[in-house]
Amino acid sequence: MLKTNFYHLASLSLFLSLLTLSLSAQETLLAGYIVKASDTLAGQLIEQERNKEQLRCLFIDANGEKQEYGPETISAWAVENGRHYRSVSMLEQGISQKRFAKVLLDGFADLLLFVDDDGINRFLFSDSLGIIQEVNDPKAPNDDGKAKGRLIFLLGNEDNIRKVVYKQPFTKDGVLKMVEAYNQQNQAGNPGNRFEDKMQGTTLNFSIHAGYSMSKIQFPESKYHNLGTQYGYSSAPVFAVAADLSFAGLSKQFGLRLGLNYQTHQYNNEEAMIELSSIRLPLHVVFRPLKKTNSLQLFAGVFGDKVLSTTQEDVFLSDPQLYMKITSEKLIEFPKKNIGFGLSAGIDYLFPLGKKQKLMLSASYAVAWSNMTFRYYAFHMYYASYKDFNFYDLYVKSNMTSRQYESVDAKHNSWVTNTINHQISYFDFKVGFWF
């Protein structure tokens, strides 16, 4: 009896082992690829149920090794000539979670779909810049009316698009027709390749804005000039243009910005006035922390500060070697060749205005270090013997103090320079358009 039971158990174990091997052998393998950072790796994908495909990707690489990837580790996966998924951030019970959403439409704008545990279709809209935003309200994902209103806003709030949205039911096919109408209006070209282009290419945007700048200048205190007294803040208009280069391989969260700012500030203390017209040339690294909208932009970097023109009143210097005071009347040049260098950082926020334009609010702080060179002429006293005394030379040098030069050489030979370091800080508040 025991022997018979043993044979039954052995047969059952063998049957289960063969069944497991059979099921493993029946795994469906599909040619495809994964997108890891900026690299695309070709291999094979293991077929899974939809609810599992939204959470993980089973991938067999070129060496035959099986790997499991989540939406936190890869940005996308796709079946060759078939469906593909992208990593997106979804709000679930008030918590942001990474999930794979299926791409329903590639074009000027893209449409993605995530099916939650309750079977509700949650749509995501990706505009021409690759900025992904959820259409459904995360707190009420089955509220079709609210979702339609949100989609109208994302599609540019135009009359002909609104008509299409109102006409179509909020189903998968209906939402597809809404976004297809938007793409046709924007003349989307070769939609089949838009996904790869977005992942591998870059995007160039421009902005123009104006606003208000508050600035302060600081000189080191010294008994040899009257510039070290405390200055108040100077306020003046500021005008700026910039070009942004976004890297699609990094989900367009990072980019570079090259800009140009122009302003004229007048600085006053109790004794003197200095006015500087200058341009700033910033080079910034831009980071967009909100993956769903990319509407918040943080930036930081370096800049050059080039003075274009200068004016001064009542500045005087005391030359410690000549023991004389160089009054404002004796200053013959206030050079504009100096270039300062500094650091800057700030924050932008973008509000959609239409298909491509956005309203841009910006605030930034910058500080530059430079030097200011004053040139003046001076009467150099010296002792000489009677036989070497030259009345003509004395006449020339005396007249130099009243700017009556006998020759150009006499004027240039009389120049004395004094260079003083200084620091300038800027607080800028601007509004403009980003397109």
Summarised one tens digit per residue, pLDDT across range 238-254 is 999 999 988 755 546 78
Kind plus residue range of the DSSP H or E element containing 5: helix 2-25
Q: Which residue has the higher pLDDT, 79 or 395?
A: 79
Length of the chain: 435
Most confident among 22-36, 49-63, 364-378 (mean pLDDT)? 49-63
Global pTM value: 0.51
Which secondary structure element, helix H or strand E, spans residue 376, and what is its range? strand 358-377
Residue-wise pLDDT for 323-341, tens only, equals 566 666 666 555 555 688 9
**Mean pLDDT, rounded, for 246-268:** 83
Domains belonging to the chain, first-starting first, are 30-197 (no CATH), 202-378+414-434 (2.40.160.20)
For residue 317, the cross-strand partners are 225, 326
For 339-381, the pLDDT digits (tens) are 889 999 999 998 888 656 889 999 999 999 988 877 766 554 4
Residue 392 in this model has a pLDDT that exceeds 50? no
Share of the chain above pLDDT 90, in %: 29
Using CA atoms of 131, 132, 136, 137 in order, give the dihedral in degrees to the nearest 10: -70
Q: Count other Cβ atoms within 10 Å, centred on residue 384.
A: 10
pLDDT > 70 in the chain, percent: 73
d(CA 355, CA 152): 11
What is the spatial distance between Cα 385 and Cα 261, in angstroms, rounded to a whole number?
Answer: 59
Spell out a b/e string for 224-244, using b for 16 or more CB atoms within 10 Å of the CB, else e.
Answer: ebbbbeebeebeeebbbebeb
**pLDDT of res. 347:** 97
191 vs 149 pLDDT, higher one:
149
CA proximity to 156, closest of 176, 186, 112, 132: 186
| pLDDT tens-place string over residues 115-140 | 988 888 899 998 877 788 889 887 78
* Top-confidence residue, 12 or 128: 128
Query: How confident is the model over 415-430, as pLDDT tens digits?
Result: 677 788 889 999 999 9
Q: Is 173 left (phi over 0), alpha (psi -120 to 50) or beta?
A: alpha
